[in-house]
Structures are given as structure tokens and as C-alpha cells.
Amino acid sequence: MAEVDDDADAGAAPGAQATEAGAAALLPASDSVVFSVAPSASSRFNTLRPALRPSACWRIDDARFAFASSFIRPDAAREFALLAGLRAPDASGDAAFRLAVFGHADPTGKDDDNKQLAGRRATAVYGLLVRDTDLWEELYSSPFKNDKWGIASVQIMLRAVGQDGASNSGVLDRATESALKQYQADNGLPESGSPDSATRKQLFADYMDVICNDGSDPFQYQPADFVSQGASSDGKADRQGCGEFNPVLVFSEERAKENQDPKKQAERDGDNLSNRRVVVYMFSSALPIDVGSWPCPTVKDGVGGCKAQFFSDGDDRRNPQEKQRQYLRNGRTFACKFYDRIARGSPCEGVRQNIVVFLLGEDGSPSKNAPYRLTSGAEVREGKSDEDGRAFEQQVMAGISCEIEWGTADDDGSDPVLPNFAEVLLNTGPDDEDARLPQRQLYNLGYRNTSNRLNRKDFGVEYDDSDTSDDAVEVAHVSGKPKQTRVEPA
């Protein structure tokens, strides 16, 4: 059978929302499918099988986990509130969506190790959602590589549940022992001052309620709310680790080679941030899903089951090529056919990047300390420009473009007026060698004729310079000081 490989579609999803470290969205319905049927005798029939397409997605990013760990940080509460708003628990068992959790890692390290870490993060999220403290105990008691919860996680949890005296030293010091004794006394446990198994079980449960809430009250799902509907003892279909096989961002060969330098580890880890994520896909409960035929291996299985689902060019897709690639821009970065099929067009598979926009006044001078509102897809950021008129936002779920509104420095009220508006076309990234890049840069500089030739000509006139080369456009774009206003009426 031929492999179906349509380009990814980055179209806007209805009801999409985003935070600094997550996203959630209802996904558009699939296009109508035409089936060919034929008349048949009573002993024969035509079979129509609906495609397995998710109805919604939710994502939590690496920033909400402890470094290189599956331990979920307390600031993840905002992302879990997004999930509650998208798919509220249903005590009747008749919920519209069934959930499946997918963990992803970056391409640093070995395939087997990355699958295990991704699976541990998926397990941590699943355990939190169903309040399975035994799964968290397994993660705590069985470290893997650098994923060691240890006393540091105990201290974080203690402070989150109200024991502010616990230190952040990472060792069982006197302050932490005292906080543990107080917590144990409050919960009717032996006051040993040690994080024993009984104490951890209670602490896990209390901490889960703190971070998994809808904004006011704790919420939780049941195993029956997941794809296997509680039938899977090993998490099959409910939680899986995809490892590094489905990156949303793949560097160019040149950038990947540079990142091999040990001195660039921090830079490499930052660049790979978007690849380290946990995604929950939600499927209509009306879909007949055969768990026995679910293609993903369990979180503890090796990578063989994953690789059996690869496209024929799966390794080429997930590995560096001449140019940098993003899944939602030009697709073909996911090695797994199954995951590519369910993820296609999902805003939960976007890439985060830093955005810098120069804000100018009507006279072309920088708008210093000006209030602004930047909108990129479903994510909205607000702030003030710096002394050079730059609006700078880090790790934004960036698409092809963003919109920005801004005012003036003298408007410092709580609800500033933002009369200026501009659409800004974004670069793919530091390795963007797209031939259309100069056209996008000219557009951002205010040259918006349909003819690229006329835009270059006008650019040369405005700058009193006959140089209209790509390099000249790049310099003007980076400097943020064009001689033509970019301000448009709102």
C-alpha cells in the first residue's frame, strides 16, 4: 500500500489558547471523504472505517518539568487549567473525548534513552491526571539517567502544599526535616522527619491537587477517560514515549554540526526546547478504537515498535538536512506515520522562538518604553518596549506572522490605548535561507507592493542608496531604522 504523505497544514484551529509553556485547541473536522460502494448480495457488505483523527489537543512544554527530569513543576498549574477548560472531567463516563498522552524528547543522546525519558514524562502527566500516586512512586524510586526526583522534588512539593519552611538545598537539611515533621503531624503520619513511602504517597496526592486544577478547584480524570478505557494495565494506548522520533524543529546540517561543540550545550538545549514536550490528543468517544491494534509500544518497550511505524524515509525526515525545517511550516519532520497522521495541522506541534519587533512612531523614530500587545496565533503577550524601541518576547509559539499593537511612553495606565497596528512576517529561524526572506523583510519595512521589483526600487529611493541587494535589506531589517514609517491605522 502506498504511503499517504500530505503536507502539514498550519491553519488556525478553533478555540486555540496558549500560555508561556503550553497550548490547547479544538481541532478542525477532517475534510469529507468520498467512499466507493457497490451493490452486493445479502452475504456480502461494504466496510467503511472512519479515520482516526483527534478532535482536540493539549501540550505542556519542557519548561514545566525539572531539568532533564519527569518531575512536574508547580508552575504547570496554568497549563492544566487549559486542559480542564478544553475537556472537563465527566463523572457519567459519557465524555465526548478519550485521551492519549505522548511524550517527546530532543535528538540529543541515544534513541533508547530518549524514548525512556519521554515515556517517563508521559507517565508523570498521566499519573497526575488520574491521581495514580503509585506511578509517581515508581518514577521517584527508580531513577533513570539524570531523571532523579530525590529530595529536591520533596522540597518543591512541601513548599507548594504550604510548608514554606522547607529549603531548596536539594539535601535533607534541618529546615526540610522540620517541614516534613510538621506535614506528617498535620496528616496523622509518624513524625520521622524523613520522606518515607507513606509520607511521599500523601505528599504526591496533595501536590497533584495543587497543580492539577481548573483555576479554582482540583480536577482529575479516571482511567476510563483514556483510549483503553481502563483496560490497559501497562498503559498501552493511554501513555507512550515517542523519544526523539517526531521533532517539530530540525536544524540544518550546518547548525547541527555547530551544536556538537560541548561549549554550545546551553545554546543547543535552548534551541531544542520546542522538541521536548508532552502532548495529549483527544479522540471522539464514538470512534471504535481497537487497543490491541494500537501501533505505539508501551512506555517501557524498546524503540523497535516505534521504528516499525516509520515512513520509508523516516530517518531522513527526523535528521538534519541542508536547511532548517519546522513541522507546521514545511512538514516532513516526523518519522512516525501514525503520529504524523494524528498530529497533522495541530497547533500543539508548533515551535517556540524569540520575537523582536522594532516599534516606530509616525516620524520614524523609535517608540521607547511604549506599551504593546503582541499576538501570535493563540498566544498574547503584553509589555513595554526598551530604550531602542524594541518589543522583545521570549519563547513565543510563533507561526508565519504575528500582530502587534502599541501606544506611546506617556500612556502608563493599567489599560493603555494602543492606536498603532502592524502585521509582522516572521523568519523561519537562524538558518532561514528561503528565497522569499528578503520579500518578507521588505514587507516588514513597509514596502508592500505586489511587485517585488517595485518594492526594491522604492527601498533604494527611501534609503538614498542605490544598493537594493539582499544584504542591504537585511541590514535595514535588523537595524529597525527604516526611513519610511511602518505605522498603520488600527
Judge contact between 85 and 374, C-beta under 8 A: no
Is domain 351-489 in CATH 3.40.50.300, yes or no?
Answer: no
Which band of pLDDT confidence, cut at 50, 70 and 90, is reported for residue 32?
Answer: low
Q: Give the pLDDT score at 397.
A: 77
How far is residue 154's CA from residue 156's CA, in Å, rounded to a whole number?
Answer: 5
The pLDDT of residue 12 is above 60: no
Q: What is the pLDDT of residue 45?
A: 72
pLDDT in tens, 443-459: 777 777 778 788 888 87
Question: What is the rounded CA–CA span in Å between residue 64 and residue 23?
Answer: 13
Is residue 208 within 8 Å of 161, Cβ to Cβ? no
Task: List, for residues 467-476, the tens digit of each pLDDT value.
Answer: 777 777 777 7
Give the three cell numbers for residue 218: 482540583
Residues 251-268: tens digit of each pLDDT = 999 989 988 888 888 888
Which is more confidently placed, 201 or 402?
201
Query: For the chain, what percent of residues have pLDDT higher than 70?
Result: 88
Which sequence spans correspond to the domains of the chain?
17-29+47-131+220-349, 351-489
More confident residue, 248 or 353: 248
Residue 5 has pLDDT above 50, yes or no: no
Q: Which fold has domain 17-29+47-131+220-349?
A: 60s Ribosomal Protein L30; Chain: A; (3.30.1330)
Q: What is the pTM of this model?
A: 0.81
Residue 393 CA, chain-centre distance (Å), reads: 16
The Cα–Cα gap between 324 and 330 comes to 10
Mean pLDDT of the chain: 86
Same fold, 17-29+47-131+220-349 and 351-489: no
> pLDDT digit string (tens) for 36-57?
777 777 777 777 767 789 999 9
Does pLDDT of 207 surpass 90? Answer: yes
Please list the residues that pair with 260 across neighbouring strands.
none
Cβ distance 392 to 369 under 8 Å?
no
Rounded to whole angstroms, the Cα distance separating 346 from 53 reads 11
| Rg, Å, the chain Cα set | 25
Angle at 486 between CA 485 and CA 487, to 5 degrees: 95
**Overall size of the chain counted in residues:** 490
Mean pLDDT of 313-336: 91
Q: At what angle do helices 133-141 and 197-211 cross, to 10 degrees?
A: 120
Encode pLDDT of 410-432 as tens digits: 777 778 889 988 888 776 444 44
The 3-state DSSP composition of the chain as helix, strand, coil percent (nearest 5) reads 35, 20, 50
Cell (9 digits) for 209: 491537587
